[in-house]
């Protein structure tokens, strides 16, 4: 038996990727909106209420509006905007973080898909706080490199156009005011007392990202080694089907290793690395910003809500 799925914002990058992931699935019936009515509120409301599941791939204000269209308890919403990620009434769509997160996704009618940067960040910082390696008031700093596909259609057109500005050939730092839209969920989900500092960079490649969090162990109350941290991550994600905690490399292996940001482009998984030494530990999460950081995460949540194998259509 198939379920009816509507994607509000199906022409955006995430919406198109979700549609792509449904190709070949016979348990999904896609409800499509005609091109001329894509912004017609009445038609959108009608299709949302026809569906069993609706994906919202919209700007925040439009997403909030779309939720207001729901007129029955049957429709289950999966929101890929930032609008509801810190709303306690919504499930946070990162099932691997804990059993509680997974159960809330499974039973909820409202699921907020994490942001791509926040997915990488929370995959590292949530376990650090949960297992007591860093305290809630630790001054967390993170930096990240990402492909340009996450910047939206206009930016993609510039990067791929013939008149690409010279500066676009270089990694470009942004959100320098420390007001990045993912910061609220990067603070709330791990339970940090203070906002982390975050330094994202958009780079001249299509997709894939690495989010990095450095830890100076001398600032910690309790002594911890890189080996212990790697073991904690390996245990925390032991049953995760789409998160792989990588083995700890020797000092010589690390010297010869380069961590590329686009390795998982097109792959719906995440890798977590522990680098450095017992004095300075560098934690890195590698993922595809369009996959585990967006459309793949959304489809994974749908699968869990449907009660089927969460990897369906993703591996």
Dihedral angle over CA of 64, 98, 23, 14, nearest 10: 40
Q: Cite the beta strand spans of the chain per DSSP E.
A: 3-8, 28-31, 53-56, 76-79, 91-92, 110-112, 141-147, 172-173, 197-203, 209-216, 243-245, 270-276, 280-287
CB 22 within 8 A of CB 296: no
> Is 284 among the catalytic positions?
no
CB neighbours of 88 closer than 8 A, spacing ≥ 6?
Answer: none
Closest CA to 243 of 283, 270, 212, 210: 270
Q: What letter would DSSP give residue 30?
A: E
Residue of 116, 203, 284, 301 marked active site: 116
Give strand pairing partners of 99.
Answer: none
**If DSSP codes are grouped into helix, strand and coil, which group holds residue 276?**
strand
What is the residue whose two structure tokens read 């340009």? 148
Q: Is 86 in contact with 115 (CB distance < 8 Å)? A: no
Positions marked catalytic? 116
């Amino acid at each position: 038996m198939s379920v009816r799925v509507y994607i509000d914002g199906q022409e955006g990058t995430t919406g198109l990727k979700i549609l792509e992931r449904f190709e070949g699935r016979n348990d999904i019936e896609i409800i499509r909106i005609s091109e001329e009515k894509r912004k017609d509120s009445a038609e959108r409301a009608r299709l949302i209420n026809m569906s069993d599941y609706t994906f919202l791939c919209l700007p925040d204000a439009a997403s909030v509006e779309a939720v207001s269209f729901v007129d029955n308890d049957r429709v289950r919403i999966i929101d890929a905007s930032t609008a509801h990620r810190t709303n306690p009434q919504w499930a946070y769509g990162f099932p691997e973080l804990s059993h509680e997160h997974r159960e809330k996704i499974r039973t909820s009618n409202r699921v907020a898909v994490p942001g791509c940067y926040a997915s990488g960040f929370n995959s590292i910082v949530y376990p650090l706080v949960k297992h007591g390696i860093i305290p809630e008031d630790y001054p967390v700093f993170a930096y990240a490199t990402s492909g340009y596909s996450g910047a939206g259609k206009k930016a993609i057109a510039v990067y791929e156009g013939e008149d690409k500005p010279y500066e676009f050939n270089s990694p470009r730092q942004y959100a320098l005011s420390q007001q990045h839209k993912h910061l609220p969920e990067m603070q709330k989900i791990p339970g940090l007392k203070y906002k982390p500092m975050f330094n994202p960079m958009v780079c001249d490649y299509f997709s894939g990202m690495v989010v990095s969090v450095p830890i100076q162990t001398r600032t910690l109350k309790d002594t911890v080694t890189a080996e212990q941290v790697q073991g904690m991550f390996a245990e925390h994600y032991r049953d995760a089907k789409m998160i792989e905690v990588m083995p700890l490399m020797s000092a010589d292996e690390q010297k010869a290793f380069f961590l590329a940001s686009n390795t998982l482009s097109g792959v719906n998984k995440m890798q977590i690395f522990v680098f450095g030494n017992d004095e300075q530990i560098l934690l890195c999460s590698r993922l595809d910003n369009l996959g585990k950081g967006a459309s793949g995460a959304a489809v994974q949540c749908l699968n869990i809500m449907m009660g089927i194998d969460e990897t369906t259509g993703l591996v």
